[in-house]
Amino acid sequence: MADAREANERRLRRLTEMNRSKAVTAASTALRDVWTAGRSPADIVLRTKGFLTPSSAEDRPPLTRLVLPRGIAQRFYLLAIFEAHCRLHVGDPWVNQRPLSGVGSWSDFVAIDGAYDGRSDSYMPDTKQVRTDGHLRLRQVKAALNTLEELGSDQALVTVPRAKNGGRRRYGEFSLMKETGRGAHQTPDAYTVPMNAWNVETFTVPSDFFLNGWVQVLSPSEVATWLILRAHSQWAVDQHAESGVYLYGKRREEGFGLRRDAWEDGCQRLREFGLIRYARPGTLDADLFDIPAEEGRERYEPYRWQIADQGLTKDAMETCMRELTLRQQQLNAAAAHRAQMKNENPQ
DNA sequence: AGTAGACGCTATCGTGCACC
DNA sequence: GGTGCACGATAGCGTCTACT
């Protein structure tokens, strides 16, 4: 990160705006309506191969390819899978039944902060054209569909049909693809809800992740880190319970395409938010107390992590605001301290 | 050796706007 | 409604550096 302090400040600014506009609350309500009216699944099931891990050695897997500096592509795909689980039985064909905008639409599922103007340090300044929060969400949904389609002809996670002449995209008629992507065949490999295989083929995510705002509030790198840790915890259940899971550099880079910064920052933020915790080798039920960084590991021994699904039952906005505010205070204090040291010992 | 903060560069998107 | 461009925002990436 260029400057952790500035990045944290930006993030807090956005969260504060979303808190003010109740954007996350509104999106979570829309999702809960779909969940309640539908099949109300406790967990959603995700396919592993070709999504978390590459389908071939050359490809970086889609999950980490969707760790992008901006946009909602990764989030939108996960939301679409959640919606499918609420609506469809295992194996049912996916057919789009929602408009892109308006009541009960795809854009109602996403929370954004809106147009920020750095010069005036304010949100939603006046424009010549009509622009509302709804317009901006719709635009981001379309941009996400572009990004998901442009992952490549095989890896594309959606298909968007084109008009006959001119080739304009008909976003409203998009189709969702399996986690493994559209595939190389002429017929796209349309999404179906998978059967939980209880092995490395699949892993599950609690619906609380979608219903309590976490999907809106976490960054794509945090989501990717969390999903990878989750998958590990389910593939190695005993090891996870006893000593936690860890991802070594080579496997992290080559097996999952997750870069160092994303992983390290991801783990720290997830720990602060209470979604994962330090594991101490040989310690069972480490959830009773959080182990401080200094005591938790030997020198140069990597952190080992355990998934803490208790954390998901908390309100994401509330938790993140609290933790990021705390972190901002620490970063400010550290910066002030550095400035003072420099003042006393000028080079 | 391995870890981690700092920092400039850059890829990629968000938004505004004109145009179709 | 969709597209393409301009401009700006931003988090990842490569690299340097200091530290243990």
Tens of pLDDT, residue by residue over A235-252, are 888 878 877 777 766 667
Q: Are residues A124 and A221 in the same domain?
A: no
- The nucleotide lying nearest A3 (C-alpha to C1') is B6
A9 falls in which pLDDT band (50, 70, 90)?
A: confident
Q: What is the model's pLDDT at position A306? A: 86
Q: Are residues A147 and A234 in the same domain?
A: no
- Tallying the residues shown for chain A, one arrives at 347
Q: Are residues A62 and A157 in the same domain?
A: yes
Q: Are residues A217 and A131 in the same domain?
A: no
Residue by residue, DSSP assigns A256-267 as: H---HHHHHHHH
Q: Does the CB of A61 fall within 7 Å of any strand C atom?
A: no
pLDDT one-digit tens code per residue, A298-313: 334 457 788 889 999 9
Q: Are residues A170 and A218 in the same domain?
A: no
Q: Does the CB of A254 fall within 7 Å of any strand C atom?
A: no
- Is residue A306 in a domain? yes
Q: Once rounded to an integer, what is the mean pLDDT over residues A286-300?
A: 38
Within 8 A by CB and 6+ apart from A294, the residues are none
**C1’ C9 / CA A116, Å:** 9
Structural domains counted in chain A: 2
- Is residue A196 in a domain? no
What residues make up the domain containing A67?
Answer: 30-176
Terminal Cα-to-Cα distance of chain A (whole angstroms):
25
Q: Are residues A51 and A108 in the same domain?
A: yes
Q: Is the pLDDT of residue A177 over 60?
A: yes
Q: Are residues A34 and A144 in the same domain?
A: yes
Q: How far apart are CA A276 and CA A8, in angstroms?
A: 20
Contact between A17 and A58 under an 8 Å Cβ cutoff? The reply is no
- Is residue A181 in a domain? no
Which H or E run contains A208?
A: helix A208-211
As a dihedral over the C-alpha atoms of residue A322, residue A328, residue A330, residue A334, rounded to 10 degrees, the angle is 180
Q: What is the CATH number of the domain that holds A299?
A: 1.10.10
Q: Are residues A159 and A229 in the same domain?
A: no
**C1’ B10 / CA A231, Å:** 32
Selected residue with higher pLDDT from A11 and A117: A11
Q: Are residues A227 and A314 in the same domain?
A: yes
Q: Which two structure tokens, joined as six digits, stand for A108? A: 């109602």
Q: Are residues A37 and A154 in the same domain?
A: yes
Domain stop point among A176, A200, A228: A176
- Is residue A336 in a domain? no
pLDDT one-digit tens code per residue, A193-246: 999 988 889 999 999 999 999 999 888 888 888 888 888 888 888 878 877 777
Q: Does the CB of A89 fall within 7 Å of any strand B atom?
A: no
Q: What is the model's pLDDT at position A249? A: 66
Residue by residue, DSSP assigns A227-286 as: HHHHHHHHHSHHHHHHH-B---HHIIIIIH---HHHHHHHHHHHHHTTSEEE--TT-S-G
- Is residue A309 in a domain? yes
Q: How far is CA A118 from the centre of its chain?
A: 26
Q: What is the model's pLDDT at position A21? A: 83
- The nucleotide lying nearest A167 (C-alpha to C1') is C2
- Is residue A334 in a domain? no
Strand, coil or helix: A1:
coil
Q: Which of A265, A313, A323, A345 is nearest to A12 (CA)?
A: A323
Q: Are residues A161 and A215 in the same domain?
A: no
Q: How far apart are CA A263 and CA A283, in angstroms?
A: 24
CA-derived radius of gyration, chain A: 21
Q: Are residues A44 and A150 in the same domain?
A: yes
Q: Does the CB of A296 fall within 7 Å of any strand C atom?
A: no
Q: Does the CB of A331 fall within 7 Å of any strand B atom?
A: no
- Is residue A194 in a domain? no
Q: How far apart are CA A325 and CA A331, in angstroms?
A: 10
- Is residue A3 in a domain? no
**C1’ B17 / CA A101, Å:** 22
Q: Is the pLDDT of residue A294 over 60?
A: no
Name the residues in A164-223 having a C-beta closer than 7 Å to nucleic acid strand B: none
Q: Does the CB of A135 fall within 7 Å of any strand C atom?
A: no
